[in-house]
Amino acid sequence: MKTILITGATSGFGEAIARLFAKNDWQLILTGRRQQRLDSLQQELGGPDKVHTCCFDISDRKAVEHAVDSLPRQFSDIDVLVNNAGLALGLEPADKTDLDDWDKMVDTNIKGLMYCTHKLLPKMRERKQGYILNIGSIAGNWPYPGGNVYCASKAFVKQFSLALRTDLLGSAIRVTNIEPGNAETEFSNVRFKADEQRADKVYQGTVALTAQDIADTIWWLVNTPKHVNVTTMEIMPTEQANGPLAVYRG
Ligand code: NDP
Ligand code: 8X3
């Protein structure tokens, strides 16, 4: 039986990926900070024999190391790592932003992803197999007002993914950076700090991507032949496109 580790599996993309892989008989390692949600997913998706949960903050390096070091034997050969845990906080211009929000995005989106990758790579190399799927964003390609550190953190994910491929050439380990556009999850509730009206507006009057769309994409990627490496995949809703460059006229 194959094993997938999904960071940030308590909602959104991570949860949808967990459900899809469970349905296809994979063993799951699910992480997140919300213990209750991890417990109910574990119960729903097959119990402790099929689903192992680890509740920790991904920006805590020691917690990441401990979670991986204490995996039960049957979960210790990880075939697929989905570096999904992440968040945006705020949409203020750089001079008005809360510096704590910037720290948190860097610690989660960049450092958390680094810690998980670094911890799992040696075993993948030893086993001469593995697939790392990083959840980047269109924000890593296309800046927008108020995106500042969130955009930059996803640009890190893109370049880190590309650089990993150069380190891993010849190892048979695959790496893909998936770059979704507007997708309806808890993302905007988190970004706007539980201001539900503001969060809802992001999805009003438009058809956004769903978490299922991203899960289906990951399932397809994981099932491509082993000699194929999709390096980067940008996915927008049909009802989203790049805007024109902005020009200020005083
Ligand atoms: P959600 O808010 O629904 O899910 C985010 C997940 O990340 C949750 O499971 C959350 O778990 C986990 N997480 C956040 N911070 C931490 C932390 N410090 N430690 C451990 N887990 C953490 O949003 P999405 O599903 O939309 O987001 C998933 C990824 O997709 C993110 O990286 C996001 O940047 C990216 N993305 C989202 C897009 C969108 O429009 N929705 C588009 C492009 C990319 P918990 O709270 O339990 O810790
Ligand atoms: C999330 C998509 O455009 O809100 O990464 O930054 S966007």
Atom of ligand 1 nearest to the CA of 86: 32
pTM of the entire predicted model: 0.98
pLDDT score, position 230: 98
- Report how far residue 186's alpha carbon sits from residue 184's, in angstroms, rounded to the nearest whole number: 7
pLDDT score, position 40: 98
pLDDT in tens, 185-229: 999 999 999 999 999 999 999 999 999 999 999 999 999 999 999
| Residues noted as catalytic | 150
Q: Are 160 and 231 in contact (CB under 8 A)?
A: no
Report which of 15, 6, 1 is spatially closest to residue 185, judged by C-alpha positions.
15
pLDDT in tens, 36-93: 999 999 999 999 999 999 999 999 999 999 999 999 999 999 999 999 999 999 999 9
* Residue type at 101 in one-letter notation: D
The verdict on the CB of residue 63 being under 6 Å from ligand 1 is no
Atom of ligand 2 nearest to the CA of 154: 5
Q: Does residue 32 sit in helix, strand or coil?
A: strand
Q: Compute the average pLDDT of residues 4-13.
A: 98
Q: Compute the average pLDDT of residues 99-105.
A: 98
The verdict on the CB of residue 9 being under 6 Å from ligand 2 is no
pLDDT in tens, 159-179: 999 999 999 999 999 999 999
Q: Report the residue among 5, 84, 133 best suited for mutation to probe ligand 1: largest number of ligand atoms under 8 A from its CB.
A: 84
CATH assignment of 3-235, given 3.90.228.20, 2.60.40.2140, 3.40.50.720, 3.40.50.80? 3.40.50.720
Could you say which ligand is closest to the alpha carbon of residue 184?
1
The verdict on the CB of residue 115 being under 6 Å from ligand 1 is no
The verdict on the CB of residue 183 being under 6 Å from ligand 2 is no
**What tokens were used for 204?**
């009003």
Give 29's pLDDT tier (boundaries 50, 70, 90).
very high
pLDDT score, position 87: 98
pLDDT score, position 64: 98
Give 233's pLDDT tier (boundaries 50, 70, 90).
very high
Could you say which ligand is closest to the alpha carbon of residue 7?
1
Domain boundaries, the chain: 3-235
The verdict on the CB of residue 137 being under 6 Å from ligand 2 is yes
Percent of all residues in the chain with a pLDDT value above 90, rounded to a whole number = 99
pLDDT in tens, 113-165: 999 999 999 999 999 999 999 999 999 999 999 999 999 999 999 999 999 99
